[in-house]
Amino acid sequence: MAKITPFEDFSEIYDDWFEKHTDKYAAELLALKCFVPANAYGLEVGVGSGKFADPLGIKIGVEPSPKMADKARKLGIQVLSGIAEDLPIQNSTFDFVLMVTTICFVDDLKKSFQEAFRVLKKDGFILIGFIDKDSELGQVYRANKVKSHFYNIAEFFSTQEVLACLKESGFGNFETKQTIFPGKDTQRIEDGFGTGSFVVIKGFKINKASK
């Protein structure tokens, strides 16, 4: 069942975060842009209000929350109603699939990745942007999740857990970027993971997904 209640009830508060944390938002976009090629045909799953799809040039998204979808449509994004585990998309359609801060709200992580695998073209790739649960910021979010309108229903993952699930779902040849480092320049982007709070994983469609 789609976890849309907080996004329906607090859609304005969701957008306020981006206004209040412009430095973190900019850093996350920079990290994602490292992996988004020009003129590629992309889909964002969990497009929300379009805060990532729009600046990254993604014109199609899937979103279960009607209020969030309406916000994205005002930015010119075509939004399909649906969930990550059951995408309303034909097989082998997109060059890449983007999921940003989406995986902590899905009901079945592996099925979500398998669906992304299905809708990707041969040699397509997935991009996952998320807060690593083992990072400093991830630990703060986990410790205070009961106080959050959104994260109180979230399940956080470590980078290793996400990589393992992606491998089981048929992805490989991974590349990673990280940003939002404790006490450092917020615009700093580094390869790898383990010190930055926001991690981006790029994985190519290479094998048949396991059941």
* Amino acid present at 67: K
What mean pLDDT is predicted for residues 81-88? 97
- Would you state the pLDDT for residue 62? 98
Tokens found for residue 27: 């850093």
What mean pLDDT is predicted for residues 79-96? 97
* Cβ-contact 14, 7 below 8 angstroms: yes
Q: What is the pLDDT of residues 115-124, one digit of tens each?
A: 999 999 999 9
The model's confidence at residue 145, banded by pLDDT at 50, 70 and 90, is low
What mean pLDDT is predicted for residues 43-72? 96
CA pair distance 132, 162, nearest whole angstrom: 9
Kindly list the distances between the CA atom of residue 28 and the CA atoms of 69, 108, 191, 195, in Å, as whole numbers in the listed order: 21, 24, 14, 15
The overall average pLDDT reported for the chain is 89
- Would you state the pLDDT for residue 9? 60
Helix (H) or strand (E) holding 62: strand 60-63
- Would you state the pLDDT for residue 4? 61
The model's confidence at residue 89, banded by pLDDT at 50, 70 and 90, is very high
- The answer, yes or no, to whether residue 148 has pLDDT greater than 70, is no
DSSP state of 86: B
> Considering Cα of 66, then 155, then 142, then 190, what sign does the dihedral take?
negative
Question: Rounded to two decimals, what is the model's pTM?
Answer: 0.92
* CATH class of the region 5-205: alpha beta
Sheet holding 78-81, edge to edge: 78-81, 60-63, 42-45, 94-100, 120-131, 198-205, 171-179, 190-191
Strands 171-179 and 198-205: antiparallel
- The answer, yes or no, to whether residue 168 has pLDDT greater than 90, is yes
Return the residue matching tokens 């649906």.
82
- Would you state the pLDDT for residue 54? 97
DSSP state of 209: P
* Cβ-contact 88, 82 below 8 angstroms: yes
The model's confidence at residue 8, banded by pLDDT at 50, 70 and 90, is low
The model's confidence at residue 195, banded by pLDDT at 50, 70 and 90, is very high
The model's confidence at residue 209, banded by pLDDT at 50, 70 and 90, is low
What mean pLDDT is predicted for residues 134-163? 78
What mean pLDDT is predicted for residues 30-37? 96
The closest alpha carbon to 33, from 5, 55, 65, belongs to 55
What mean pLDDT is predicted for residues 176-201? 91
What mean pLDDT is predicted for residues 39-61? 97
Strand boundaries in 91-150, DSSP class E? 94-100, 120-131
Tokens found for residue 117: 């695998």
How crowded is residue 196: how many other Cβ atoms within 10 Å of its Cβ? Answer: 27
- The answer, yes or no, to whether residue 108 has pLDDT greater than 90, is yes
Pairwise pLDDT comparison (61 vs 144), residue with the higher score: 61
